[in-house]
A and B are shown apart, each in its own frame.
Chain A
Amino acid sequence: MIVAEQKPLEEIKGMVAGAEKILVLGCGTCVTVCFAGGEKEASILASQLRMATRLDGDEKEVTEFTVQRQCEYEYNDLAADYVREADLVVSLACGIGVQTMNEQFPEKLTVPGLNTNGLSQPVEQGVWEERCQACGDCVLDLTGGLCPIARCAKSLLNGPCGGSQRGICEVYAEKETPCVWDQIYHRLEDLGQLDKLMELEPPKNWHTSRDGGQRKIVREDLRL
């Protein structure tokens, strides 16, 4: 799922400084599941902003509302009255939701209350690890189902670099992030498919990734 983290309160306070009436708009989908921007977090941020601006002697009028899915117009329509009343919207959705709001309600600026972090898996309570970079040309069939694009710090395609030791990647400061190529090696070994690692992978086609420009999927069979 898409995971995100709330921006520091000070940064959000800076964004809302010029406004009197603020709408904090949560999203009920991915960011609710990762405890970053759902109804509860929207309520907490709204309270924080009320208290913080009161303490600063410039109390704002802060309302809160949460839509089911901020990346779709139909759901955001339900927030239209709140948006109309506000000077500024602080979105607690991912970057897609923030942009949908700006597009749908161009007369009001919607600012991001979250930093969108990536496409991750909740590996344990309170821990999300990136699993996919949406490169547009999936290689998981070659790598035992573990992604070297998202999980190798250098996005290597031909096996582990010289910094892989005892199964740990050299890059991360805490020295406990697994080397995904070490994991791929052992996974392919278990599957009896080490021959896949002996193939020479040529330079990857990155055109399907962000590098090819903004991506767009058009499904003619689904269009109305």
Chain B
Amino acid sequence: MIAQFAVVLFDGFAFGMLLFVLSVGLSVTLGLMNFTNLAHCAFGMVGGYATVIAMNWLGIPFLLGLPIAFLAAAAISVVLERTIFRLLYGGTELSQVLLTIGIVFMASASAAYLFGTAQQPIQIPSWLRGSYEIAGQNFGIYRMFLSIVAIAIAGLLIFGLEHTRFGARVRAAVDNQRIAQGLGINVDAVFAVTFALGCGLAGLGGALAIEIVGLDPSFGFHYLIYVLIVVAVGGLGSIAGSFVAAALLGIADVAGKYFVPELGSFLIYFLLVAILFVRPNGIFGRR
């Protein structure tokens, strides 16, 4: 029984770490520009398909495919941010929601057109496959790899945000955009770089997700809900908040589906509504 709990905890944490990589960028960009970007997961999908192309068509190894996913998603996000998204920074929330949902629709239909609606398989290297058996339960090696990558990213982000000059600028802009601008910080440039980084991370998340949850054209929609839950519960602009919220969500989701499968995702949505009812700004949100 305890071993069962351990494996659910382990799988849930790994899933949560995947959600963390997918969502942390959105948390920061939302806190920074107040731009409700529902297309965030579509960038994750771009990263996923970039890896599929790199690996299956060009024969590039998996570990090189991951940075390619990051770069592809970041590059596309910069183009969209500089051309379309920036037009709506002062706009209403509704127009931002609609524009980005429209982009998700287009991305998902384009993916279906280009790649078909089937799941995209990839071949991960043999040293990542298989699992360790402890007390009769299997602990997947890929999930360990995923958790380590995500924790490393969280560490890097927290270090970057807390201890570098650029991080200080980002924090200043999140806290008070107008005063940051008044102090001579180029908030627009800070935002563009942060946006690209965040979308790049989403792309990386999309690539890492293929092995665990698969990749198909509905990715941008399906995981959007998870990502939004992480952001809304973790609070805007908080990396630690996103990390904890993602871990909790992952564990709750896996545990719910493992122990009470007949409820489906009911538990997750119930928790979401309950948490936001009690704390509308999220568990770690300040605003």
Asked if A and B are interacting partners, one says no
A interface residue numbers (CB < 8 A to B): none
